[in-house]
Structure 1
Amino acid sequence: MFLDDFGFPLEVTAETLNKYSYDLHNTKLLTSADTEFYLPPKWHGTIYSTEELLYSYRKRYNPDPTLLTFHALQPYEPEFICCQNAVVELTVLPAGQSLYSDKEIVVFLVKQPAEDRNTLITKELGTQLDFFPHNHHYHARILDEGIDVVYVDDKIYKTGPPTSYQHQRLYNLLRNIQPGAVLGLSGNPLPDILRTVCRKTAHGVKMHK
């Protein structure tokens, strides 16, 4: 998915591909090298992920190097990046292997200082749900700050039975993290049961309009 001008996640699909102006989205997050992603026409910008995922993606799909820049992040090591109207802190977190192949996947944590908000972005849930290693200094920081919003790919609720393995894993992830809120990347409503495992906050969570 992309980050928009303020650092909020923005999913681009085959159906919405032509709705976006390429010059508005200069940050792309690569969560898996297993599938080719959709790019708005003539889009150019920087794709962020781990060195291994970026290498695998370029080897498999041979993207146009004149349009794209690739930036490798070290796991658990935050970096400041510039969106159009905001500076955010971006961290890549290993998430184990995909449930559909033997490929490694990652999730991203985006800290938006202007919003005082930590956002966890998951495109796919893999074999690892504990993204924050207990023996790493990053774990203490996340426990102290907490996760305000988790974004999930809500298409898993359009296919498969209502008690599928993916649904249960998502529920377990939210129960472990206890974010302030959970939202779908497409903007579609999520099952009410997911909100029951979000923590109750006195002042609520500011939503992106």
Structure 2
Amino acid sequence: MDANASSFKIILGSASVARRKILAEMGYEFTVMTADIDEKGIRKEKPEELVMAIAEAKAEAILPKLPVGHYKMDAEPTLLITSDQVVVYEGMVREKPSSKEEARQFIKDYSGGHAATVGSVIITNLKTGFRKGGWDKVEIYFHEIPDEMINKLIEEGTVLYVAGGLIIEHPLILPFIKEVVGTTDSVMGLPKALTERLIKEAL
């Protein structure tokens, strides 16, 4: 537990269960707010720029819903954490599969190959207005994934709801993960080390 965890509050600007779990694992207490934005309306050339722009847009969408005046007068600062993540395969950004067929194609591509996740974290200090962000990249290498296993994954359905159809902690996929260069928490949506560093910088 962070020694000064009691001297500030956190709002997690995400509906993601995985992000809530990771932030709780880090020892923080927080409230949750979600941003309703059109992510597909945001386009950037580079995946790193895209995830930063979307995390920023989420913060901008949440701010008007908050009584920012109160936070400015509060003795203790409140930090708003927003983040985003995409999967990158052969230089192309992959979003959630639009169909079972697309999900199947995505996973076939990963079989015996590799993909990367690029995730962003932006922290806004609501008391001071200070905002700082960063991104983190993880490379994931796969063994060959048999067709029947791909079919099972599609039937089970979780892969249809995640960026790039990519889940590494799934029991059906785990045996086919050859190597992860980076941290699992980052793949799951919230890089702990980056988040920790940005929290310290924002205070």
- Structure with bigger helix share is 2
- The structure with higher relative contact order (CA 8 Å, sep 6+) is 2
Q: What TM-score, normalized by structure 2, do the two folds share?
A: 0.28
Q: What TM-score, normalized by structure 1, do the two folds share?
A: 0.28
